[in-house]
Structure 1
C-alpha cells in the first residue's frame, strides 16, 4: 500500500519515542495514550490546553467539510500536492505532516494525487471534532489531537510539513523536519474573499506589508499565488464559507445578518503558497 500511517510519534509529556502496543501508544516512562475506536489518538495533555474544548467546534468542522468536499478549494489542494511531491527523495518512503489538518481534506487530496508514491501521512489538529471527522473518512493516515506548539513527533523525521491557513510554530516545524525537508504554508492574500468581506465589514483595513523575516533554521524557496473566481449559488454555501473562516466571529451582528441574506455570491480566492527549506 502506498499510503501508510506515520509512526514516529513522540510522547507529549516527555518527548520520548512512542511505540504502539495493540490499541495504545506508550513511551519508555510508561505514559500511555489509547487509540480511539474511530482510529485517532489524543496527544494533547490537559496542562497544554487553554480551554476544555479547543479549536474548531463540531459545527465549524461540518461546514468546512461540506464546503471543501464540494471542490471549491480544489485548485489550492492541487498546488499544494504539486509542491509536496516535487523533489522528494527518490524511491524511499516520504513522510508528511498536516499541522492543523482540520477534517483531513488536504491529506486525502494528497493521497489521491500521490500516483503510487509511497507516503507516510500524519494529520494533527487541536480540535478533537476535526480529528474525529478525519479519522472516520480515511483510515490510512495517522490522526492525532495535538498542538503545533508541542508536536508529538520525533525530531528530524518528516520530509514535509503543511500549515494551511493555520498557526505556524517555526521552532517546532524546524525540529521535526529532516535536513532538506520543506515547510509549505498557505495564507490569505490581500484580495482573498474580498467581496464577502466588503459586505460583512463597514470598511476593510489596509493589508499590512510587513518585511518578510525568514525563521531560524530555514531558507526561502520560491512562492506562488493561487487566484481564481469562485461562484457560490446558495445561502448554504455562503454560510459554510463564512463558518469556516475567522470572519464569522470578527464580523458584528449586522455584518453576519447581511451575509445571511445573500442567495448567491462571486468571490475572489487569492492565496499565497510559501515554501521554506530546512537548512542542512
Structure 2
C-alpha cells in the first residue's frame, strides 16, 4: 500500500480549507500556519489551549516511544491494523489517528498494508513533543498539532478514525468521517495493568458502567473485540517507562511511585477492548 500524507485540512480558526503554499498552509482569509523543519504543522491556536504546553511532556513521549518500540503492545497494533484494513475502499482511503502520540500505531499500520491500494494518513496530537517525535520517525504521513475538540479536518473526508487510549469526541469524529466510515476505539479493560495498579494505589476503583447505546452520529450496530494476554516487564528502566507513559504516574502517591521504582520484574495483564463504530448514513 502506498502511504501518502492527508491533505484535506481545515483552518482551525474559521474552518475553511487550508491549501499548501510553500512552507506554510493558508486559508482564503489569510490565516497562515508554518510547517516546522521536521515536517509537522501546528494547528492549535492559543485560544484553544488550556495550558501553555498541553498534552504529554517530552519525558512521557520518550518513555512511551521506548516502551512501544520494544514490542510490548504489538498484539494491540496488529488487531488495530487488521480492523482498519478490513473492507477498506479499494480506490484509496484515508485514516486519522486522533491522539497519535509518537506515531507507533500508524507506523505499524503502514507496515501491515502491503497491497496496491493507497492510504493517506493524518496523525494528530495535542502534544507538540509527541507530534515532533512522530514526524522524525516517519515523514510520510501528515503530522499535526491539534485538538480532538476541534479537529482541523474538512467534513466527511475520512474513511477511518482511530482513538486509541484517548479522549473521544464523537461529534467531531462523526463530522469528519464519510458516511459509512468507521471509528476504531481502543480502551482499557477492567484488568488492564491491574498488577501495577494494585502496587501503586491503596485500592482499585471498580469499573465504570458503560453506555451500550451508540453515540450520536453512529449506527447502533458495532463490533467489540477483547484482547487479553500476559506480559512480563524486566528491568527497572522499562518498568519506569511504563509508569511514566500512563496517567497513573500523576495519579499515584509518592509512596506508590516509590514501590513501583523498587521493582525489577513485573508480571502484568494486558486487557483492552477494540470497538468499531460505523458512521451513520447521511439523511
Is TM more than 0.5 here? Answer: yes
CA shift for structure 1 position 279: 0.7
Alignment of 1:72-151 (within 5 A): 72-90=72-90, 92-116=91-115, 117-151=117-151
How far 1:209 sits from its partner (Å)? 2.1
Deviates most, 212-221 or 22-31: 212-221
Superposition deviation, residue 88 in structure 1: 1.1
For normalisation by structure 2, the TM-score amounts to 0.97
Q: Distance in 2 between matches of 1:65 and 1:5?
A: 22
Alignment of 1:1-280 (within 5 A): 2-90=2-90, 92-116=91-115, 117-219=117-219, 220-280=221-281
The SS at the match of 2:238 is: helix
Query: For 2:32 and 2:269, how far apart are their aligned partners in 1?
Result: 47
For the residues of structure 1 that align with 2:176 and 2:83, how far apart are their CA atoms? 19
**How far apart are residue 212 of structure 1 and its match?**
2.1
Structure 2, unaligned runs of 5 or more: none
Task: Please give the per-residue CA displacement for 1:98-118, whole angstroms capped at 9, x wherever unaligned.
Answer: 000000000000000011331
Distance 2:211 2:165 in 1: 20
Give secondary structure in 2 for the equivalent of 1:139.
coil
Instruction: Look up the SS of the partner of 2:277 in the other structure.
Output: strand
Write out per-residue CA displacement over residues 69-105 of structure 1, whole angstroms, 9 at most, x where no aligned residue: 0000000000000000001122x11100000000000
User: Once superposed, what is the RMSD of the aligned Cα atoms?
Assistant: 0.8
Shift of 1:60: 0.1
Q: State the 4+ residue runs in structure 1 displaced beyond 4 angstroms.
A: none
CA separation in 2, counterparts of 1:139 and 1:89?
24
Pairwise CA distance, 1:214? 1.2
CA distance in 1, matches of 2:40, 2:197: 36
Partner of 1:197: helix, strand, or coil? helix
**TM score, norm. by length of structure 1:** 0.98
Distance 1:261 1:65 in 2: 22
Structure 1 runs not aligned, ≥5 long: none
